[in-house]
Structure 1
Amino acid sequence: MLCVEDSTGVQNAAPIPRQRTELPVESAVMYAEERHWDVFPGTWLEAGDRTETCSCGLPDCSAPGAHPARPDWATEATGSGSTARRLWSQHPKASVLLPTGRAFDVLDVSDSAGFLALARMERMRVTPGPVACTPDRRMLFFVLPGGAAKAGGLVRAVGWSPASLDLIARGEGHYVPAPPTRIGGMGAVQWARRPTQANRWLPDADEMINPLAYACGQEVRTGGQEVRTD
């Protein structure tokens, strides 16, 4: 949870707001038509006797219900709402996946580092773009395309070795799951900061790296334990 300070300086926990469950096709069409993001359908979860399994059929699937269903996913991705409706009509339960390196890149950190970074951004008056939380405790910060390519250099510029931080830059050739995609039995991807008109213009990675690297560095110093935001 995100710790924020009230007027008395006391920190309070601000949980992610509960979000209305939407059909995958509704979200996919919204991303395509309102945000002009490319989307493509991935695998989905199939109900079993005691648990849900990935539609890919692999018992040891690393991302059940949340990975590409086809090897040509990059060419299948579409920015057309009508095409998205057609694709999801074939598999209504398919996950909603977004290719990076097109309309946006993504900076991927642990959720503890991500919430710490958001609190730090608020104090620095840095405005993040959309931010998603995955049920495997990752946070995805959406930035302008090209951010992934220069992330390593930006991290070095603020005094860290990229290899020492749990910060993954996702650009061309990668993808991320988007709400309301469900991953295994862990739960659904949610927005910590929803895409809105206010964050239509994405930030550059240059603006995000300082607070993100700081937060990831705090995890290194504390051995991955939860850290306070003051």
Structure 2
Amino acid sequence: MEETIAGTDAVQIPKQRGESLLDAAVRYAEERHWDVVPGTWLDAVDGSHRCSCGDAACPAPGAHPARPDWMSEATGSATVARRMWQERPTASILLPTGLTFDTVSVPETAGFLALARMRRMELALGPVTLTPDRRMEFFVLPGAAAKVPDLLRRLGWAPSSLDLTVRGEGDFVAAPPTRVGSRGAVQWACRPTVANRWLPDAEELMSPLAYACGRDR
């Protein structure tokens, strides 16, 4: 079943299922061979939800690493993932970037414009997330962080002129169904499937992404 999110020009977004964080984390490790890391979580405090980190002004409540050495907990084992989320069932799901994928992050409006353009061009897409902060993360092959600035310059764009960033080695993305404070949950705009197991290179997607970000300025 699908639903249309307002303002997306009829781009279809799969309706999100009520999957638990534990089940999702295990599935990412087992089916996609992605490393997963349990992050912070949301605590109910005085009728509101606050980040377990204790910072009342946390910019990403319940959706960031819980400790400085968070990468040491990363695992691609479904068995280990199950044990970790059994111990911390409300922990967010973080996916380290720079290992099996990087992500290209753009504003939501530019992301939907780019998605429509990519589908018209019949480009092969990887998974894409939609965050409560109104960003879209396009999953691409690792190494994108090093090549995207030159790709943008070749297309005639100064990298600093576009709201387009790349998450690579040492960074992470929050995965569905992680919730970010009271803003809502991370969703899949393009859900992981057997068909998109092989990720595109950033070069294949950069032209429509740069064009959409340029239009969105």
Q: Same fold (TM over 0.5)?
A: yes
Secondary structure (helix, strand or coil) at the match of 2:29 reads helix
- Note the 1:31-70 alignment, pairs <5 A: 31-70=28-67
TM-aligned CA deviation for residue 155 of structure 1 = 0.8
Q: Distance in 1 between matches of 2:124 and 2:215?
A: 21
| 1:192 aligns with one of 189, 192, 202 | 189
**CA-atom RMSD, angstroms?**
0.9
Secondary structure (helix, strand or coil) at the match of 2:139 reads strand
Q: Distance in 1 between matches of 2:13 and 2:55?
A: 32
Quote the residue 1:147 is aligned against: 144
TM-aligned CA deviation for residue 197 of structure 1 = 0.3
* 1:22 is the counterpart of 2:19: yes
Q: What's the TM-score, normalizing by structure 1? A: 0.90
Identity percentage over the alignment? 64
Quote the residue 1:167 is aligned against: 164
| 1:215 aligns with one of 201, 212, 217 | 212
Q: Distance in 1 between matches of 2:106 and 2:123?
A: 18
- Higher mean C-alpha deviation, range 14-23 or range 44-53: 14-23
Q: Distance in 1 between matches of 2:193 and 2:158?
A: 34
Structure whose alpha-carbon radius of gyration is higher:
1
* 1:104 is the counterpart of 2:101: yes
Q: How many residues align?
A: 211
Quote the residue 1:138 is aligned against: 135
TM-aligned CA deviation for residue 17 of structure 1 = 3.0
TM-aligned CA deviation for residue 160 of structure 1 = 0.3
Quote the residue 2:88 is aligned against: 91
Q: What's the CA shift string for 1:69-107, capped at 9, x where partnerless?
A: 011111210000011111112210000000000000000
Note if contact 1:106-1:142 (Cα within 8 Å) is conserved in structure 2: yes
Q: Which amino acid aligns with 2:73?
A: E
Unaligned runs of 5+ in 2: 1-6
TM-aligned CA deviation for residue 149 of structure 1 = 1.2
Q: Which amino acid aligns with 1:131?
A: V
| 1:128 aligns with one of 113, 125, 129 | 125
Note if contact 1:39-1:78 (Cα within 8 Å) is conserved in structure 2: yes
Q: What's the TM-score, normalizing by structure 2? A: 0.95
Quote the residue 2:8 is aligned against: 2
Secondary structure (helix, strand or coil) at the match of 1:188 reads coil
Quote the residue 2:76 is aligned against: 79
